[in-house]
Amino acid sequence: MGSIYGRVFRITTWGESHGGGVGVVVDGCPPRVEIAEADIQFELDRRRPGQSRITTQRGEADAVQILSGVFEGKTLGTPISMMVWNQDARPQDYREMQDAYRPSHADYTYDAKCGFRDYRGGGRASARETIGRVAAGAIAKKLLRQWEKIEIVAYVKQIYDLVGEIDPKKVKLSQVEKNPVRCPDPQAAQKMFELIDKTRKEGDSLGGIVECVIRNVPPGLGDPVFDRLEADLAKAMLSIPASKGFEIGSGFSSVLMKGSEHNDLFYSSKGRIRTRTNRSGGIQGGISNGEDIVFRIAFKPTATILQPQKTVTPQGKNTILKPKGRHDPCVLPRAVPIVEAMSALTLADHYLLQRMIFM
């Protein structure tokens, strides 16, 4: 069962939702990258539960421990091991899931694959696994900033039918973090918060779109065939729990344009080749072109809702499931740092691969 991501900058995540803890081992990080527990904790605090009434109320501090690979505030070039203890696991909340498959969850498919599963909160299929990704992503972010000044900012663009007015060229992290929805359009954010809260009280859930912009990416990262940069970004994003769609640049809207309208025309500025538009989303032919990389991820409504639903038992008997437990009515606010982390891990891997070519 695959728990490893990356080729040069490589991570292995481990742990289950209601086990003793979760964590990650980072292999391939170069030495002398400046990192502290506070850098990692900042990102984990953005992902952790209980941030507001529109997120799950599971009481976890998600305090990270760096167990190896860092000394006096710098990476050693050796494997970096980090973990977070689970402190508020309540496996009793999931007893009903032992004998009934939750609709749109991994319960049935996990059983079909393995013949056995950890039903406590989904076990390995739980989004709590992403703690390791976010911790590792914090290190990847530091590497990219330290070596290339690459900046990654993700934000909530849409919740249900509410869409924020956001310019990817101008959006800043400080704007994203100003409200619990993580939408940098304050008017839209307030409406989104109210809608999520209303839906929560109804025992239902909502989906939406997270947009991400990556700035200061040097041209030349990626490959033209199977290891295209956008293909690896797509895999990274679609590996995030609840993700259902990925588009980059003009995405699906490109089908409504002609080539003469869609092409990004080149020009020269101060000795640098640029494009006048960025419908390619910063990647052409699988390789970065130096423009901002801009993409979007669609997230489905949270599968666990606090309403009775028809389902079946592992023996195929029809039943009604009345879920308990603590779940996000909308995953998007906490998905934002996960999107940034997976972006950083993908870019760091491609960046180190490119450096190896010219060593």
Whole-number pLDDT of residue 16: 87
Domain holding 90, by residue range, is 4-357
Model pLDDT for residues 256-313, shown as the tens digit of each residue: 999 999 999 999 988 899 999 999 999 999 999 999 999 999 999 999 888 999 999 9
DSSP, residue by residue, 64-77: EEEEESEETTEE-S
* Domain tally, the chain: 1
Listed residue (114, 79, 56) closest to 326, CA to CA = 56
Q: What are phi and psi of 37, to 5 degrees?
A: -55, -35
CA distances to 185, 250, 282 from 337, rounded to whole Å, are 18, 23, 21
CA distances to 259, 284, 332, 342 from 279, rounded to whole Å, are 11, 10, 25, 22
Model pLDDT for residues 247-269, shown as the tens digit of each residue: 999 999 999 999 999 999 999 98
Listed residue (332, 331, 327) closest to 90, CA to CA = 327
Residues 329-347: b if buried by 16+ CB within 10 A, e if exposed:
bbbbbbbbbbbbbbbbbbb
**Beta-strand pair 208-215/283-284:** unpaired
Q: What are phi and psi of 66, to 5 degrees?
A: -90, 115
Q: How many CA atoms lie within 13 A of 290 on its CB side?
A: 11
Residues belonging to the chain? 359
60 has pLDDT over 80: no
341 has pLDDT over 90: yes
| CATH at residue 290 | 3.60.150.10
Q: Give the global pTM.
A: 0.95
Model pLDDT for residues 207-251, shown as the tens digit of each residue: 999 999 999 999 999 999 999 999 999 999 999 999 999 999 999
